[in-house]
Chain A
């Protein structure tokens, strides 16, 4: 009886663990891998203005490091990355006005570069998925 109960519990445990494991594997977005890929995108397209440490250039290019503006609105960041931005913006209390051209990136590249800047230099943000980019792109 005891042995049967043991087998039953082990079986249930196995199903629960294995079940969760498979669910996680399909649902989970690998943020770490995305951040790593995003660094390469950042170096190629963003670094010459926003600088290696994300600080930008005071008076010219706003910082992406510890940037209240960046972290406030993911959808806006996606659109600005893809389609560019003009006009004034206030970042960490300072007003910047420097046009940025949009960058021709895939949904995955956009998600990667945003995950990199949103999780570097003291920033901490929720993962931006390629699906989020796709949704914002087509709106």
Chain B
């Protein structure tokens, strides 16, 4: 066991954990932020996507020792009141069906729009590739990303 300083959503957490504990475990079980979901556990599905210094990463496959003293943002940190354009667009377009993968989808979409304010269909497809939705909400995800891009412009 070791002690780690985590900065999640601009809040500091002192966490005692084994160095190899996945960041996702720490986020959900030790910091108590359960918006980020466990999907496959092997970085293949994207449900556990969070921002690591602004970049979308798979938190199930990053040891806590690598996340110490870095800036982590989870779905809870995107906004305090669902006012982030991606969240608003998701609601407007009624994107989720079962919803399990959606916090990962939203985090990936938010990171994409920060880098590319006006992504084309193929740019969206490339950025969102590897974020699996078993309900098949992909067409709505794509549409909502465009709606969010529009909101961000105004």
Contact A49 B43 (CB under 8 A): yes
- At the interface, yes or no: A138 with Cβ under 8 Å from chain B? no
Query: Would you give the 0/1 interface string for B37-52, flagging 1 where the beta carbon is closer than 8 Å to chain A?
Result: 0000011001000001
Q: Which of B42, B57, B126 contacts A60 (CB 8 A)?
A: B57
Contact A43 B129 (CB under 8 A): yes
Q: Which residues of A contact B127 (CB under 8 A)?
A: 52
Size of the chain A interface, CB-CB below 8 angstroms: 13
Residues of A within 8 A of B (CB): 43-44, 47-49, 51-52, 57-60, 98, 101
- At the interface, yes or no: B3 with Cβ under 8 Å from chain A? no
Contact B43 A57 (CB under 8 A): no
11 A-B pairs in the complex with CB atoms less than 8 angstroms apart: A43-B126, A43-B129, A44-B129, A47-B126, A49-B43, A58-B53, A59-B53, A59-B70, A60-B52, A60-B57, A101-B42
- At the interface, yes or no: B150 with Cβ under 8 Å from chain A? no
Contact A57 B58 (CB under 8 A): no
Query: Would you give the 0/1 interface string for B97-134, flagging 1 where the beta carbon is closer than 8 Å to chain A?
Result: 00000000000000000000000000000110110000
Q: How many residue pairs at the A-B interface have CB separations less than 8 Å?
A: 31
In the complex, which residue of chain A has the Cβ closest to the Cβ of B63?
A98
Beyond the given A57-B55, A59-B70, A60-B66, please list 14 additional residue pairs across the A-B interface where CB-CB is below 8 A.
A43-B129, A47-B129, A48-B58, A48-B130, A49-B43, A49-B58, A52-B127, A58-B53, A59-B53, A59-B66, A60-B52, A60-B62, A98-B66, A101-B42
The 7 lowest CB-CB distance pairs between A and B, nearest first, are A48-B130, A57-B55, A43-B129, A43-B126, A60-B66, A57-B57, A52-B126
Q: Which residues of A contact B57 (CB under 8 A)?
A: 49, 57, 60
Complex: A51 Cα to B52 Cα, angstroms: 13
Query: Would you give the 0/1 interface string for B126-150, flagging 1 where the beta carbon is closer than 8 Å to chain A?
Result: 1101100000000000000000000
Complex: A51 Cα to B46 Cα, angstroms: 14
Contact A47 B130 (CB under 8 A): yes
In the complex, which residue of chain B has the Cβ closest to the Cβ of A57?
B55
Q: Which residues of A contact B70 (CB under 8 A)?
A: 59
Complex: A136 Cα to B58 Cα, angstroms: 30
If A43-B126, A57-B55 touch, whether A48 touches B46 (CB-CB below 8 Å) is: yes
Tell me the minimal C-beta distance from B102 to chain A in angstroms. 17
Complex: A59 Cα to B66 Cα, angstroms: 7
Complex: A48 Cα to B130 Cα, angstroms: 7
Q: Please provide the chain B residues from 8 to 42 with a CB less than 8 Å away from any CB of chain A in the complex.
A: 42
Complex: A46 Cα to B124 Cα, angstroms: 17
Q: Which residues of A contact B42 (CB under 8 A)?
A: 101
